[in-house]
Each structure stands twice: as C-alpha cells, then as structure tokens.
Amino acid sequence: MNSPANLESAFYTELQFGTGGLRGIMGVGTSRMNIYTVRKATQGLATYLLKHSPPEKGVVIGFDSRINSELFAQETARVLLGNQIRVYLCKNLRPTPFISFACRHLNASAAIMITASHNPKEYNGYKVYWDDGAQIVAPHDTGIIQEIEKITSYSDVSVGHLSSPLLHSIDQDLDEAYLQSITSHPIFTRGPKQLKICYSSLHGAGITLLPKALIAAGFSSPTLVQDQCEVNGHFPSAPSPNPEQPETLEKGILLLKETASDILFVSDPDADRLGCVVMHAGHPVILNGHQLAAIATYYLCSSLKGNIVTTIVTTPLVDTIAHHFGASTTRVLTGFKYIGEVIRQWETTNTPFLFGAEESLGYLIGTSCRDKDGIASACLFAEIAAHMKSQGKTLLDLLHSIYSQFGVRLEKAISINFSSGKEGLQRIRHLMEKLRSAPPSSLPIVQTIDYLPGHASLPPSDVLQWTLQDGTTVIIRPSGTEPKLKAYLSTSRPATAFTAESLQACDSYLNQTSIKIKELNIMAQPLRFLNMLTEDPLLVNYEGIKVRVPDPIAYAFHKLIISGRRRKEEKQSKD
C-alpha cells in the first residue's frame, strides 16, 4: 500500500468468485484474499445452500499448508455456523482430493478447500465442491455468485463461533477410508512390489497421506526429500511450488541419483498434482503431463474396460490409444471440474469411467474422489513402474513403445506473464482481442477455432485454437488463476520404430514455434501506448507531436517513453 498504484490494485474491483471459487493474492483490499472476502463468499454460499439442501447435511472444510489457510478455513466455518449449517472441519491440513472424498463419504451438501494449488506463495484460494465431490459447475456456480452479489455490506455476513455444537472435527479415522478407496481399485495387484521411490511434498499437504498410500499399495516407504517435506507455506526450499517447473524438481533429482532409486514423485502443496522423474539408463528423465497421461491411458486401457475424459489442451495421443483399445474419449474445457461434471452425467447413463487426465499433471482413477488426485496418481504410476521394472524396463521404455505403435507426439507449454492487478488484466484482454482480429502472420495458420461463442457442444470460453499447415496445433487462453496467457503447442511425426531423432525433430520444431508465440507479447501494449496511436498505426502522437515511424521503431520509442515516466514516478515517490 506504499503507492497509488498498489492502492488501486487492491481496491479497484471485488475479488471475483469465479466458476470454481476464489483465487488471489493475499492482503488488504476488496480484490485480495483476506478474512472479509472469504466471509463474504461463504455467506453467499450459505444462502444458496439453505435454498437447496437441509443444513444438517453439512459442509466439509479442509486446508493446505499455505499462509493463512487454516485461518481462512476457520473463518469459513464460523460463517457457516452463523447460518446454522453443520460443519465438518479438518483438524489438520489435508490434500485437496481427500476433501473431495470426504464430501462424498460423509454425504455432505458441499465442501470447501482452502488452497491456491501450485500458485506462488503470495496466493491463496477457496475451492467449492458440490454434493458429488466435484467442483461446482452450472447452475450452482452462477447461483452462488448471484447470492454473493446481493451482499452489499460486510455487516450482512452472519459469523458464528467455533464452540458451536454444529462443528464436528475430521480426524485420522477418515484417512483409512480414503486410502482403502484408492488401493481397492482393480488396477492394483496384491502383495509387495519392488520399486525404490523418492518423494517431495514441496512443503505441502501431500506428506500427510501420500507415503501412507504407497505403503498401503504394497510399496516400501519412500525416501523423503527431507527439507521439502517440512510443512511451510513460505515454501523455503522450493524455487516454485509447481512440480511442472524443472527447477522445482532439482533437489528431488539429486536424491534420486544419490539413493539409486527408480522413480521420484513430487506433489504440489495441496497434492492434487503429481510430477514424476524416472531413472533410465542411469540418467533422470522428467516426464511431462502429456506423457504421463499417455502412459496411464495405455496401461489402464490394456487391462480394464471404461472410458476416458480429458481436456482440449491434453495430448491427442490419449484419444489415439483409447480408441485402439475400444474405449471412447470425451474432451472438455480446461479445468478438472468439467471432468467431474462428465463423470456425474455418465452415472445417470451407466457409462463406465476409467480415467481422467489434464496436461498440468492432474489425473484421476476411480470415482470415490471427483477431483484430480496426486495421492492415487502416485500409486498408479508406481504400479506401472513396478510392472515395467519386473521386465527390466522403465516408464520411458513404455513411452517409447507407445511412440513406435502410435507415432511420436510432443507438446510444449508457454506462459506469457503480465503484471498483477488492473493493468495486467487489461493487457491480457487486449491481446486476446488482437489475436482474434489479426492472427499473427508469422505462423502458417490454416484453421482457427474460437471457443468464445462455444464450440462442439462446449460452453463459451476465452480460448483460441490454430491449426498450422503441417497439422501442429496452438491453443491460447488466459490463465484462470494467474496474470498470464498460456499457449499449448502440439506436433507429431508418423508411427515408425521410435528413434531419438524423431523426438528431437519435434522438440526442435516446437522450440522454433514457441519463439514466435512469445513474440505475441509485443501486441499487448499498455493502454497508454494505444492512446498514443492515431488512426494511422505508423503515426505516433507523443504530447501533441505526430511522428511517422516504422512499427518496430514505434514500439521501441514507446518503451523509452514509458521507462522514462516510470523512473520519474519512482523518483517522485521516493522524494
């Protein structure tokens, strides 16, 4: 709050309750995560619940290791209790998938998980689940939002006390039921299994249940990355709390090599995502979310019957493999809530669900939980790795076998970062508008699919998909949780005997294409620059003086002006 810009960013809008809940930077202000915005959201949820469910069914509340997570969970409980709704509150931190399971197991009306998943430490969030244990979707999401919008003052919020008889604690008794729901899945063989596992919880909630789950599934206790398994919301030993980032895996990879282990698992702070590194021919190899999805699809479909749900940004290899084994696939928008929605729809038609996957390291087997489950995923990939080890092979060998049978398919994700707050959101919105009206000429685009008006029975979403001349696809969308645009690239080579050269060719091509994607950031100029342009895009209006310059020079000219103004503003603020 030490500058007008920070003040505006904190109060320029209300923290929006999105289609899954709240997510934002913690701090003072109406656009921040704090006890007041949490209470307001909970009051809206409570009002909606009382219209649709008896209060005695109750609401499950959990929290992860993040700063203020336990406090926000308690404040959430107080508002529900103030509205005479029964509450099941976890005594200690627990993973997100456990909360989804608990909601179903306790037959609750809803559940709330306080977490910002893999976001930076400054963030926290508030995820809402309906009675099926899946994240809320229409019509419940819009119904809750409407109730929140009716609240005009924080004094409209009813706040109770944690001493209420309506408050019930969730303790370790429910842990065993959750673990049993995982290990009873038919994909798991019985008896001890030979696999040396390392594990890092990235200072999060996974440490409470993931090691226990592996032991229950027949594996030896994993070797822990000790300093990253200490619960701490500041994530002091993790460069990022996101297992998708290679630098986050470095300490675990070091332990993997030192202990001559077979595999490393790394979960994010709420343990719904799972990263994986395998030792192959004496070298650690990071498997990305697309590759893990393909491996799991192949193993599951070759053993069991059922159907697959995945997202529009996940590798098409999932569909190719599933169809080969006679399974159907359904593609949904990005977000595991849509996978949970399909599972609920399939229950009404007795359509068997086998596997759900999204490229950002999120997977689900079984239906006892309805969100991505890093705990169950660790057991699944350990099972597959143990099976391959019994044949003298690794998960990478299985992946290469898949490439030989179905063709090499490689993906790459790119993030274009923006400043947080009002200006960053405006720039993101402007860039998406520019990409719709004038796609980049540097890419050989032959087909465009715009999901904004809705596409292929999917609801409207701010997503653009381009198909390039060689069949490569590029999908661009704003992040739902951070000020960034995400681009997903996918390219392929025909099915032949797998060679390292074919994989390298895909990788090289994606790297070249990603450079062109990153250049799109130049199109997202601050509004101050847009105001400098006249009707002629090559004519810059600077303080009343019109200067005709080539477009690249205009951009450089703009950068000099803005940097000069910022230096002046910084000097004035210091004075």
Give the residue numbers annotated as catalytic, written as ranges: 117
Task: Give yes or no for a contact between 329 and 323, defined as CB atoms under 8 angstroms apart.
Answer: yes
Handedness of CA 531, 536, 538, 541 (dihedral sign): negative
Task: Give yes or no for a contact between 282 and 394, defined as CB atoms under 8 angstroms apart.
Answer: no
Q: Which of 510, 187, 196, 514 is nearest to 355 (CA)?
A: 187
Task: Give yes or no for a contact between 137 and 338, defined as CB atoms under 8 angstroms apart.
Answer: yes
Task: Give yes or no for a contact between 337 and 137, defined as CB atoms under 8 angstroms apart.
Answer: yes
Query: Measured between alpha carbons, how far is 172 from 91 in angstroms, rounded to an integer?
Result: 9
Handedness of CA 360, 363, 367, 369 (dihedral sign): negative
Q: For 227-270, give the DSSP string.
A: GGSS--TT-TT-S-S-TTSGGGGHHHHHHHHHTT-SEEEEE-TT
Could you tell me the end-to-end alpha-carbon distance of the chain, in angstroms, rounded to an integer?
17
Strand ranges of the sheet holding 362-365, from the earlier edge strand across to the other edge: 329-332, 307-311, 353-358, 362-365
Only one residue has tokens 């926290």, namely 124
Task: Give yes or no for a contact between 86 and 292, defined as CB atoms under 8 angstroms apart.
Answer: no
Query: Measured between alpha carbons, how far is 409 from 317 in angstroms, rounded to an integer?
Result: 7
Only one residue has tokens 């990355």, namely 225
Task: Give yes or no for a contact between 359 and 413, defined as CB atoms under 8 angstroms apart.
Answer: yes
For the CA atoms of 431, 437, 439, 445, what is the dihedral angle to 10 degrees?
140
Judged by phi (left if over 0) then psi (alpha if -120 to 50, else beta), residue 225 lies in beta
Radius of gyration (C-alpha) of the chain in whole angstroms:
25
Q: Which of 186, 135, 120 is nearest to 358 (CA)?
A: 135
Phi/psi at 449 (nearest 5 deg)?
-120, 120
Query: Measured between alpha carbons, how far is 406 from 385 in angstroms, rounded to an integer?
Result: 21
Tokens of 140: 């419940």
For residue 183, CA distances in Å to 171, 215, 516 come to 20, 10, 46
Which residue intervals of 350-420 are DSSP H helices? 374-389, 395-406
Tokens of 422: 């009002």
Task: Give yes or no for a contact between 449 and 481, defined as CB atoms under 8 angstroms apart.
Answer: no
For the CA atoms of 42, 44, 49, 52, what is the dihedral angle to 10 degrees?
-170
